Structure 1
Amino acid sequence: MSTVRFSLGIQAQSLTFERQNAMNVTNEKEKIIINALDSWLAEGLITEREYQKFFRTLAPYPFNLSTLSHYISTGALLCLTASIGIVASDAELLSFVYTHIMTTITTSIFIPAVVSLTLYLLAIWLRTRDHGCSALSGFILGTGAIMTGISLWQTGKWLELGKGAMATQILTAGVVWGLVGFFARSCLLWFLFLLSLCVWFGVQTGYDEGWSAY
């Protein structure tokens, strides 16, 4: 009887130790780890006892907060883009912005450019420092991309470049987004870079052909 109690006590202590040293992982990472353990067991790199020990230390999250944070940041970015689109499409709101906010070159061009540069540097710093901030850095990069577009749009307006310079502005924005996307490892900015190239090609072709093919 004492031997049985001693064995049960050892097993209880072992389970308590494994729970205290549990490795919290997402469901996707749990599948990757289990596949790796299965391959190691099949190759004889670990024993069945070691496999069960490693397997019991896995503690998947009941809910993936990382995925939720990505959805929230994407939704916030879409709301920000929609609000700017509403302002740009409303004549009265746009007149108010030009009359009370974008009254000088500084507020129209330089401030959006400085804000976008600051956001880019902040997002790159966050991604190099902590990979868990990918959702926040993605939102920051998206906001910086919007500010870049506003700065280039206002540059063409203040310099009175006309509609013919639209292709150049789109290409410039694409180059900026591509460079930042390369250093920040951002799929969003790479998507904007490729999209701007397609739009630039279409606009430039339209100008060269006199829009006769459209």
Structure 2
Amino acid sequence: MKLSKRESRVVNNAIDTWLEEGVIDQEDHNKLKGSYDVATIDWSLIAKYSFWVAVLCIVLSVLSVLLDKWLIELIQNIFSAPDIAKSVFFAIVSAAFYLFGVRRKKQSPDKTFSNEAFFVLGIVSTAISIYFIGQVIETDSLSKLILLASIVYGLLGLWIPSLLVWVCSLFSLGTWFGFETYQWSDNGYFLAMSMPLRFVVFSAFLIALGMFAQTRFKSKEDFALTTRAFGLILFFLSLWVVSIFGNYADFAEWGDVSQFSLIHWSLLLLIASIAALYHGIKFDDELNRGFGLIFIFVNLYTRFIEYFWEGTHKALFFAVLAASFWLFGTRAEQIYRLGQKSRTEESPAE
């Protein structure tokens, strides 16, 4: 069995721990150590990027064939056809990519990257098909086409199933929300909220939806978890932007206020981060725990830069930053070593 260097370190530490705790003897330890080899090259990473390059080369090859005269005539015939014909053509092309990808996924489920590469091509073809649908119905509303794309990607993602297509659906939904509220906004405000603050509300809805689906639909737990992760990224990034710019849609207006007057948004970000960290620790939720911990530090360092950058000598400024990171690193190392020691002491008692 071939393992990457990272995987081998995890397996090696586990085998050594089992030997120390008496779970296995020296003979089993030697057998387990000899049951795998360390791969010097991360082939999974190479495979992933190779397929992305392959997709890019396919696109480039399509562009290069335009130099051939008969292909130019063929493409001219296709693109001189009615918009409905173009939409149907690209819909058939995208369906072919999806079906072929589904078939390969069933036959070779371990070939994740090559399977997903076909789904990427299907995603692009679907977007082109939806664009020509917009030409057919002669709509000037880009947001409606984006919403249609989000619905189509969502249904396809659940049917295939593919988390990549599902992420495209979530991304399209967020894009639609931004465009739609921008069209309805007055001087940059929609329901008295700036764009970042609107996305705080929108992402909170996605987080709630993901948590609800995670408990109710166990068969789609991966999709619910992906939805919640997407919502958490959008939520904390949007709230972080709000903590810097406040609920201002006009930069000139924001420039006239002191940064300290926006401290209540920073406190809101801190409360949200602590709440996520508490929930993650209490319910052993690694996702919430990670986001909560990260944005506690992001918030604190952002405030430090805002309040002390101008009035502090730069040598002192960076010295304080260095000391704080050194302190956190030292404490993290102590906590890690304490956990390793306690686990070793508990094993004989068991």
- TM-score, normalised via structure 1 length: 0.69
Distance 2:18 2:136 in 1: 65
Question: Residues 157-196 of structure 1: matches in 2 within 5 Å?
Answer: 157-160=135-138, 162-164=139-141, 166-184=142-160, 186-196=162-172
**Which of 94, 113, 120 pairs up with 1:142?**
120
1:77-119 Cα offsets, whole Å, 9 max, x none, are 456678999xxxxxxxxxx998432213564011211221222
Q: Any stretches of 5+ residues in structure 2 without a counterpart?
A: 64-72, 189-248, 250-350
- Residue 35 (structure 2) pairs with residue 50 (structure 1): no
Distance 1:149 1:58, change over 3 A: same
Residue 78 of structure 2 aligns to which amino acid in structure 1? I
- Residue 185 (structure 2) pairs with residue 209 (structure 1): yes
Distance 2:117 2:143 in 1: 26
> Identity, % of aligned pairs?
25
Further displaced range: 36-45 or 131-140: 36-45
- Residue 103 (structure 2) pairs with residue 101 (structure 1): no
How many correspondences in the alignment? 179
Distance 2:124 2:154 in 1: 14
Q: Any stretches of 5+ residues in structure 1 without a counterpart?
A: 1-22, 86-95
- Residue 38 (structure 2) pairs with residue 60 (structure 1): yes
Residue 125 of structure 1 aligns to which amino acid in structure 2? R
Distance 2:18 2:5 in 1: 20
Distance 1:182 1:35 in 2: 38
- Residue 180 (structure 2) pairs with residue 200 (structure 1): no
Distance 1:209 1:82 in 2: 40
Q: Which residue in 2 is equivalent to 1:4?
A: none
**TM-fit CA distance, 1:154:** 0.3
Distance 1:33 1:107 in 2: 56
1:124/1:183 contact within 8 Å kept: no
- Residue 21 (structure 2) pairs with residue 32 (structure 1): no
CA RMSD of aligned residues (A): 3.0
Distance 1:149 1:83 in 2: 20
Distance 1:207 1:117 in 2: 33
1:158-196 Cα offsets, whole Å, 9 max, x none, are 221x212x2121112112222333444544323322221
| Secondary structure at 1:163 match in 2 | coil
- TM-score, normalised via structure 2 length: 0.45
